[in-house]
Amino acid sequence: MEYRKYGDTIYLRLDRGDEIISGILDVCRREQLGSAIFSGIGGCSRAEIQTFLPESGRFETWTLAGMLELVSLNGNVVTDEAGQYYHHTHAVFSYKDVAEHRMAAGHMKSITVLYTAEIELRPVQGGEIKRKYDPETGTGFWSFAL
């Protein structure tokens, strides 16, 4: 993993075997970014995709493996009042399944890089977004700090 900061934006390149989400969180910690948004593309080998099931309040996880084109990665990083980092990440992958071209998408738990991933990380400007726990859904949502 390597990154550079140009202006307020951070450009992050992840390499073979790197895990994308932990890499983004690591850069946010290093740069002391309490809230940021990100997007990216790349070539990946493995993705753990989640779907939230409201009736059970749990995520269902499934793994996709092989040559995965990361067509679109979008998400955000926020912290809670204790400074703990959280991500909310969605991604779309294209891949070949025998003779068929397919797509898979959803909430991401983890993504492993096959050959590269290129991420643009943009800190929130002029304020900070925090994470507030919601007991009704059992998950966290944005809380706007001044």
The confidence band for 56, taking pLDDT boundaries of 50, 70 and 90, is confident
Residues 43, 67: contact at Cβ < 8 Å?
Answer: yes
Closest by CA position to 59, among listed 108, 130, 21: 108
Q: Where do the structural domains in the chain lie, given as residue ranges?
A: 2-145
Give 34-47 pLDDT, tens digit per residue: 999 999 999 999 99
Measured between alpha carbons, how far is 112 from 21 in angstroms, rounded to an integer? Answer: 9
Confidence check: pLDDT of 9 > 60: yes
In this predicted model, what pLDDT tens digit does every residue of 57-113 receive, in sequence order? 788 999 999 999 999 999 999 998 889 999 999 999 999 998 899 999 999 999 999
What residues form DSSP beta bridges with 110? 48
The pTM (predicted TM-score) of the whole model is: 0.92
CATH of 2-145, one of 3.30.1380.20, 3.40.430.10, 3.30.1330.80, 3.40.50.1000: 3.30.1330.80
CB 57 within 8 Å of CB 137: yes
pLDDT at 127: 87
Q: What is the pLDDT of residue 139?
A: 79
46 near 18, Cβ under 8 Å? no
